[in-house]
Amino acid sequence: MAEHYYAKGQLNQMIFQNQQTQFSIASISVVETDIDIDEKDLVVKGHFPALTHGNDYIFYGQMQNHPKFGDQLNVFTYEKELPKTEDSLVKYLASDLFYGIGEKTASKIVDTLGLNAVDDILRDESKLDEVVGLKAETKKQFIADLRLHQGFEQVTVELAKYGVGLQLAQKLYDVYAENTIKQLQDNPYDFVFYVDGFGFQRADEIAKTIGIEDNHPTRVQAGILHVLDEESTNGHVYVELPSLVTRLNELLFRGQTEETKQSLHDYLNQLVDDELIVMEADRIYLPQLYFAEEGVASQLTRLLETNEDLTFDESELMAAIGDVEEQEGIAYGEEQYEAVKKALNEKVMLLTGGPGTGKTTVVKGILHCYEALFQKKEQKKQSDYILAAPTGRAAKRLTESTGIKAKTIHSLLGWSGEEEFEYNASNQLSGKVMIVDEFSMVDIWLANRLLKAVPADMKVIFVGDEDQLPSVGPGQVLADLLASQSIPVCRLQDIYRQKNDSYIIKLAHDIKHDQLPEQSVGKKADFNFIDTSSDYAVDTIEKIVTKALEKGYSMRDIQVLAPMYKTKVGIHELNDSLQQIFNPKEESKRELLHFQSVYRTGDKVIQLVNQPEKDVFNGDIGEIVAVKDAKEADSNKDELIINFEGLEVSYTRQDLNQIMLAYAISIHKSQGSEFPIVIMPIVRPFKRMLVKNLIYTAVTRGKASLIICGDYDIFLEGLQKGDAYERRTTLVSRIQAFLGHNVEQVPQSAEQNLENAEVDEQEEFSPYDFMS
Ligand SMILES: Nc1ncnc2c1ncn2[C@@H]1O[C@H](COP(=O)(O)OP(=O)(O)OP(=O)(O)O)[C@@H](O)[C@H]1O
């Protein structure tokens, strides 16, 4: 901090304040400074909370000359000195910072406890009992507020010494509160795994400052976990030893020697002994991913080997299918009929096929035929069927198409968000048939959890499109199950939906089979490719959206999909522009500012993470129905109320990083959903991201209309890049090993780990614990 200037003073006026980001500009009247200025007033600018009158503040930072506003102090950190007179202390305690404390109560506190009231209460909460007439609730809230404000300020001052500015300090404080500094001194690497935006390099610099040596186990261990974490964020289940060694040497020991390389091996062995990583041959796993793979393989083996066979008469099956055909007004194709039959016969089955091949039709057939053949004598029991999907929207679609309530996998398993799943190996689900749709989206960790909860007499049918993107989390479970050739499969190839006039379906299947027109196909009934450069893509999309709205389509019908958040045609930019069209600013619409975003009543938003306790899940799309300010909300905090298909959920500012505007969403987030109109920019800045299964996933989201705008050559190039998302997994060989096919030797140490009673303890971590 030596290079920083300081200025001590009192607030004249808050010029600007963004409550959420805490970005503030204020004018202060200076009483003491080392800055060479003549005026008494100084503008200070940076990330700090609203200042209150009557307090002394000390700001540290760099001077900057703003062309329009003149000299300003760019604040790096600040300290607040507590009020020094009884009057100003009363004003401070009666300010908006302390909920429920008015001037009368504030005076009482100061009269009773004097000028040291704040310090005394922070040291010993029972001091507040000396103030007569304070309700228990008020006391509790006051102490919490005091700790929040005072604690945060103390922490920011300390953190500044380690080069951590106010914005990051706020994030650290949200997680560690008053333990922030202790955690920093014990193990700053912890921040990398639990605080969004806290990088390994920064932790490493702090570690150096506090004297953690290069070869210190804490550092090396953090480095290894960091590399494994990054790899799992990219979808990989393991890292190969040579590549881990290279990465670690780069990360930890620039200018490595053979000696450090050797010690790295020693650390790896130590970590294996401590069960913090698992090594199998030359592969290194985070334990939770290793055990998830083992779990999926062993659970599938259990089901395949123990589940009972069902027997039924073929003529009865034909009669049952006949009923469904009559109901639906269609004739089941041969492969569809075979799929229904196989699903009834097999204990576990994979049903895969591109769009419009009749996966849903087969699911309906399975449900109807199971009921007709095996529940003949009983009353129809819906409780025998479990239908599930990885996202809320996919579950809703499945419910609509089958007439049976489908749940998200998380809610099916009873996830509370923090504790274990309610349904697990020792408390399994009940039912006879489980069908899981959109299975390509299920990652290795969730697949393991799901399979554990399946009882031995339940049939399992996994439905998915193998050409879509793999799961966001690690693994590629559907692709691996198919590749294992150990589980019965039905692949539907014939296309039924809008057989003659749907170009979307034709395009999807052409992409799948690598048959692409060289020339832009231009306009079709349900498809259009509009040539445009990246400079005009946003404009073009705005025009298309405006036209669609004029034609009577609603915000819910129209979905823009893009592969990237940044760049001038990225999701953020698109959302900013499209918000003006879909839901422009109006007097009557309330707004809430959050970082760079404005949320207003009527906005379409997307949930970005699973929140099982609120029953909202990653990818759910909702609409803001109310914006409340703190005075109106029960929580006494600013709130957004979002309606997700009838379910109203409230979000305080703290929760707002869980949502974003959803006029444009990522292709990854669109998995499992379909929209009447899909608009997709395919432009040069996206080139790096565009690969076949990404484009295929986007194309297959459009139900009635798909409009691509951009550069046809970039589109073709993307479609020719097929393997960019290949993931490192070992599920195929594990399944084969468990089933006794093509057995690969599992090393002794891993076997021991498996037998070890601590396996369950390991599994309590989820890969999400390591992913931001
Ligand atoms: N055998 C058939 N004869 C006539 N129409 C059929 C047949 N099978 C399916 N269809 C129709 O084709 C359309 C697509 O079928 P379905 O929704 O079952 O396919 P899907 O594979 O689930 O498609 P998607 O993945 O795109 O949702 C539906 O309208 C369905 O009624």
Q: Which residues sit opposite 531 in a β-bridge? A: 710
Say what the pLDDT of residue 772 is: 31
Choose the residue to mutate in 321, 327, 361, 368 for probing ligand 1, maximizing ligand atoms within 8 Å of C-beta.
361
Say what the pLDDT of residue 351 is: 98
Say what the pLDDT of residue 382 is: 62
pLDDT tens-place string over residues 700-740? 999 899 999 999 999 999 998 875 568 999 999 999 999 88
Query: How sure is the predictor about 768, in pLDDT bands with cuts at 50, 70 and 90?
Result: very low
Q: Which residues sit opposite 387 in a β-bridge? A: 406, 435
pLDDT tens-place string over residues 271-289? 898 888 999 988 999 999 9
Q: Which residues sit opposite 460 in a β-bridge? A: 348, 434
Report whether residue 336 contacts ligand 1, using a CB cutoff of 6 Å.
Answer: yes
Report whether residue 498 contacts ligand 1, using a CB cutoff of 6 Å.
Answer: no
* 0.90 surpassed by complex ipTM: yes
pLDDT tens-place string over residues 295-307? 999 999 999 987 6
Residue 119, token pair as written in the block: 């310090």
374 CA distance to ligand 1 middle (Å): 25
For tokens 């704040």, the residue is 118
In 3D space, the residue among 281, 265, 214 whose CA is nearest the CA of residue 728 turns out to be 281
**Calpha distance 324→372 (Å, rounded):** 10
703 CA distance to ligand 1 middle (Å): 12
465 CA distance to ligand 1 middle (Å): 14
Supply the pTM of this predicted model. Answer: 0.77
Say what the pLDDT of residue 500 is: 58
Annotated binding-site residues for ATP read: 356-360
Do residues 609 and 618 make contact, with C-beta atoms less than 8 angstroms apart?
A: yes
Looking at residue 259, what DSSP letter applies?
H
Q: Which residue has the higher pLDDT, 729 or 138?
A: 729
Which residues are CB-contacts of 223 (< 8 A; sequence separation ≥ 6)?
A: 200, 248, 251, 252
Residue 511, token pair as written in the block: 């992409």
Say what the pLDDT of residue 378 is: 55
Query: How sure is the predictor about 748, in pLDDT bands with cuts at 50, 70 and 90?
Result: very low
Say what the pLDDT of residue 3 is: 66
Residue 191, token pair as written in the block: 């921040």
Stretch among 197-211, 232-246, 381-395 having the lowest mean pLDDT: 381-395
Report whether residue 491 contacts ligand 1, using a CB cutoff of 6 Å.
Answer: no
356 CA distance to ligand 1 middle (Å): 5
Query: How sure is the predictor about 236, in pLDDT bands with cuts at 50, 70 and 90?
Result: very high
Report whether residue 673 contacts ligand 1, using a CB cutoff of 6 Å.
Answer: no
Looking at residue 267, what DSSP letter applies?
H
DSSP secondary structure string, 476-535?
-HHHHHHHTT-S-EEEE----TTTTT-HHHHHHHHHHTT---SS-----SSEEEEE--HH
Ligand 1 atom 16, closest CA:
358
Helices (runs of H) and strands (runs of E) counted in the chain: 29, 26
Choose the residue to mutate in 332, 334, 360, 498 for probing ligand 1, maximizing ligand atoms within 8 Å of C-beta.
360
**Calpha distance 481→439 (Å, rounded):** 11
Ligand 1 atom 9, closest CA:
358
Say whether pLDDT at 149 is over 60.
Answer: yes
Q: Can you tell me which atom of ligand 1 is nearest the CA of 505?
A: 26
Q: Is 640 helix (H, G, I), strand (E, B) or coil?
A: strand
Going by DSSP bridges, is the β-strand pair 675-682/702-710 parallel, antiparallel, or unpaired? Answer: parallel
Strands ordered across the beta sheet of 278-280:
238-240, 283-285, 278-280
Give the mean model confidence (pLDDT) for residues 417-436: 88
Report whether residue 337 contacts ligand 1, using a CB cutoff of 6 Å.
Answer: no
Annotated binding-site residues read: 356-360
Q: Which residues sit opposite 362 in a β-bridge? A: none
Report whether residue 333 contacts ligand 1, using a CB cutoff of 6 Å.
Answer: yes
Residue 210, token pair as written in the block: 């506090």
Say whether pLDDT at 255 is over 50.
Answer: yes
Ligand 1 atom 3, closest CA:
330
pLDDT tens-place string over residues 579-608? 999 999 999 999 998 767 899 999 999 999
330 CA distance to ligand 1 middle (Å): 10
**Calpha distance 180→158 (Å, rounded):** 10
Stretch among 12-21, 334-343, 676-685 having the lowest mean pLDDT: 12-21
